[in-house]
Amino acid sequence: MIDPVPSQARTALGRNLTHGLLDVVGRAIVTGQYDGKRFPTEAELTVQHGVSRSVTREAVKMLTAKGLLSARPRQGTIVQPTSAWNLFDTDVLRWLLERKFTLPLLRSFSELRLAVEPVAAQLAARYATSAGKARIAAGFARMEAAERGDDDALDADIAFHIAILRACGNPFFAQFEELVGTALRTSIRFTNRFKGRSASLPAHKAVLEAIEAGDDTLAGAMMRSIIEEVMVLIRQAESEGAAADRDGLLHG
């Protein structure tokens, strides 16, 4: 019997068809491929991707649980607005990195970082164990190595910030690891546009030294200054964008 569905589409999903379909469709939703378009029915997805109805149904359920889809009577399955997405979900965060860059997204990430990371640095200064401080120091050492070209600058920066979240002694803060990592990746994409700017080693060293010294006030203030620097660049970019829009209206 001839397979009625496209085998190439099924092969592209990998061995685990459900998770493969989840990844392909989830990425398409988050990156805007369905914006302004009708979302396919389960039957259409089944044919498009060469999988069984049960695989499609399970993938749609998983996407619904992530807040990306919803099923409504007489409307079928529709794509949910961004406000309904589970932005703490690791898959959603990963797909967001592939989305077209926007200043509002970076601002949202940075505002959340401002609410979380300075407090985490304060708590780390108060409660970090010797092992926790060693991991933060190791993260900074990687940043120094990256400056010499011996490590990846972005991965080293993320390792430093994640080490602080883990060292602060509050398990809830550790849950922000994926979000902070995604925020940093988004931030670097943005700041690299400004003369190839990279993370400030002196500022990060000041955070490390404050934590090692147990100075929670200074640790929080220095972490805040790191993130505020990004906010300054965002405001600058927004102002330049607004000025460009005004010029376009005046001279268009």
pLDDT of 8-19, one tens digit each? Answer: 555 566 668 999
Pairing of strands 69-72, 76-79: antiparallel
Rounded distance, CA 1 to CA 20, Å? Answer: 25
Helix (H, G, I), strand (E, B) or coil at 177: helix
Q: What is the pLDDT of residues 206-249, one digit of tens each?
A: 999 999 999 999 999 999 999 999 999 899 888 887 655 455 54
DSSP state at residue 38: P
Please return the burial class of 9, using the count of CB atoms within 10 Å of its CB with bins 0-12, 13-18 and 19+.
middle
Coil, strand, or helix at residue 251? helix
* C-alpha to C-alpha distance for 20 and 5, rounded to whole angstroms: 16
Structure tokens at 2: 């001839």
CA-based end-to-end distance of the chain: 62
Element (H, E) at 142: helix 130-147
Contact 105, 96 (CB under 8 A): yes
**Model confidence pLDDT, tens digit, residues 72-125:** 877 789 999 999 999 999 999 999 988 887 888 889 999 999 999 999 999 999
Nearest one of 66, 69, 113 to 88, comparing CA atoms: 66
For the stretch 219-231, pLDDT in tens is 999 999 999 999 9
Structure-token pair, residue 49: 């991707």
Residues in CB range of 70: below 8 A, 6 or more apart:
64, 77, 78, 80, 84
Other beta carbons less than 10 A from residue 242's beta carbon:
10
Residue keyed to tokens 């990195």: 97
Give the mean pLDDT of the chain.
88
CATH 3.20.20.70 fits 7-84, yes or no: no
Distance CA 74, CA 153 (A): 51
Residue 118, SS3 per DSSP = helix
- Enumerate the domain spans of the chain: 7-84, 102-251
pLDDT above 50: residue 250: no
Among 121-130, 158-167, 194-203, name the one with the lowest average pLDDT: 194-203
- The CA radius of gyration of the chain, in Å to the nearest whole number, is 22
* pTM of the full structure: 0.81
Architecture of domain 102-251: Up-down Bundle (1.20)
